[in-house]
Amino acid sequence: MLKIAIDAMGGDFGPEPIIEGLVTALKKNNNFSAIAVGKKSEILPLLPQNLLSRIEILDTDDVISMSDSATDALKRKESTIYKAIELVREGKAGAVVSAGHSGASMSLATLRIGRIKGVSRPAIATLMPTSENQNTLVLDVGANVDSDAKNLFQFAIMGQVYAQYVLRLDEPIVGLLSNGEEDSKGNEVTKEAYKLLAKIPNFAGNVEGSDIFKGTVDVVVCDGFVGNILLKTAEGVADTIGKIIKKNLKRSLISIAGAVLMRKVFKNLKVRVDYAEYGGAPLLGVKAPVIIAHGKSNPKAIQNAIFQAINAASSNLDSIIEQRLVKYSTEQEIN
């Protein structure tokens, strides 16, 4: 049975929402067990008796806080995230989920689990809602501040494989984020990346920021600096739109009546922009699934992050990514 390692203490609100999400996931899926890493005295009272046979607790009380440096995690071998990553490295767990320090998770996963052969830098991927009944996978959204054309080429391969084998999309289409659709647009890095990505099947060329939310393509590739700004901007816009709607609905009885009639529409909108629906962001490019959840994750977000980890661990991503990197890199050298 697949085991998932859970950093039970890493979130902003302690172990309660993390364990609640884990318990819900265990009730809904009988095909995995978990190792909760954290303070046993705080975790054990949160676990129902009927699930104790499927949850191990690895007791440790050191937690990497958000104010700590990511490099601190490399030295603090008794910390929850270090021990969770080690469980995967040692083969005792097939994937890890953490809502803790994202920099620590990335650093430890890269150094302790290791990169997939052919991957220079791992990337964080996230799902963006679109106007269609689908989502756009965007990467990198924060793992790398500076990326070269080769990195972007690798991100495209990793994103396409994840979209195909985890998101279950047939022949996912890839776009390169730029300041215009023409192949002449972009800076020197994106222009060079365009030439490399042109060898990948289903490469649609350059796309603009608006295409992400139109669902023009399935995967959008960019460097982590641009991607993180894009992610934070999208979160801010969604939050602002919600506040504007609420503020204006209170201005008249007609608006209130209209809101009552449109409850289903508003509910669907909330679901589409709620990060809890997607769970977490996979760190692509390491040898085992690492899902980085939001620090403010509620139980639903943790549950969905765990389901992401299960799907990724069951998809043999590392070998598929390695094979495709070899294939398309070789084709480029030949051409």
Q: Positive or negative, the Cα torsion across 307, 309, 313, 315?
A: positive
Mean pLDDT of 305-333: 86
Please compute the mean of the pLDDT values over residues 126-146 and round it to a whole number.
Answer: 86
In angstroms, the CA 155 to CA 178 distance is 15
Token pair 């943790």 is found at: 302
Residue 313 lies in a domain: yes
| 70 found inside a domain | yes
Pairwise pLDDT comparison (116 vs 252), residue with the higher score: 116
Residue 270's pLDDT is what? 58
227 lies in some domain: no
16 is in which domain, residue-wise?
Answer: 1-119+285-334
- Count how many residues are written for the chain: 335
The span from the CA of 40 to the CA of 36, in Å, is 9
The pLDDT tens digits of the residues spanning 64-96 come to 888 888 888 888 888 999 999 999 999 999 999
In a domain, 5, yes or no: yes
Query: pTM to 2 decimals?
Result: 0.87
pLDDT band at 244 (very low <50, low <70, confident <90, very high): confident
Say yes or no to pLDDT of 276 above 90: no
Q: Report the relative pairing of strands 290-293 and 280-284 from DSSP bridges.
A: antiparallel
Confidence of residue 240 (pLDDT cuts 50, 70, 90): confident
| pLDDT in the model for residue 102 | 87
User: Does 184 map to a domain?
Assistant: no
Q: How far apart are CA 203 and CA 39, in angstroms?
A: 47
- Average of per-residue pLDDT values in the chain: 87
Residue 175: strand pairing partners: 220
Express as a percent the part of the chain with pLDDT over 90. 56
Given a cut of 90, whether residue 257 has pLDDT beyond it is no
Confidence tier at 164 by pLDDT (50, 70, 90): very high
Q: Is the pLDDT of residue 239 over 80?
A: no
pLDDT for 286: 95
pLDDT band at 334 (very low <50, low <70, confident <90, very high): low
Inform me whether the pLDDT recorded for 195 exceeds 70: yes
Conformation bin of residue 123: beta by default, left when phi > 0, alpha when psi is -120 to 50: beta
Residue 86 located in a structural domain? yes
**303 half-sphere exposure, CB direction, 13 A CA radius:** 15
Say yes or no to pLDDT of 262 above 70: no
Written as one string, the DSSP assignment of 248-312 is HHTT-HHHHHHHHHTHHHHHHHHHHH-GGGT-EEEEETBSS-EEEE-TT--HHHHHHHHHHHHHH
**Do 102 and 140 meet the contact criterion of CB atoms below 8 Å apart?**
no
Predicted pLDDT of residue 335: 56
Q: Report the pLDDT value the prediction gives residue 199, as an integer from 0 to 100.
A: 87
- Note whether residue 7 is domain-resident: yes
As a dihedral over the C-alpha atoms of residue 84, residue 90, residue 91, residue 92, rounded to 10 degrees, the angle is -50
Domain count, the chain: 1
Residue 258, domain member (yes or no): no
Q: What is the mean pLDDT of residues 174-203?
A: 90
Q: What is the pLDDT of residues 30-69, one digit of tens each?
A: 999 999 999 999 999 999 999 999 999 999 989 888 888 8
CA-to-CA separations, 251 to 248, 257, 260, 261, 267, in angstroms, rounded = 5, 11, 14, 16, 21
Q: Six-digit token pair at 320? A: 């598929």
Return the CATH number at 292.
3.40.718.10
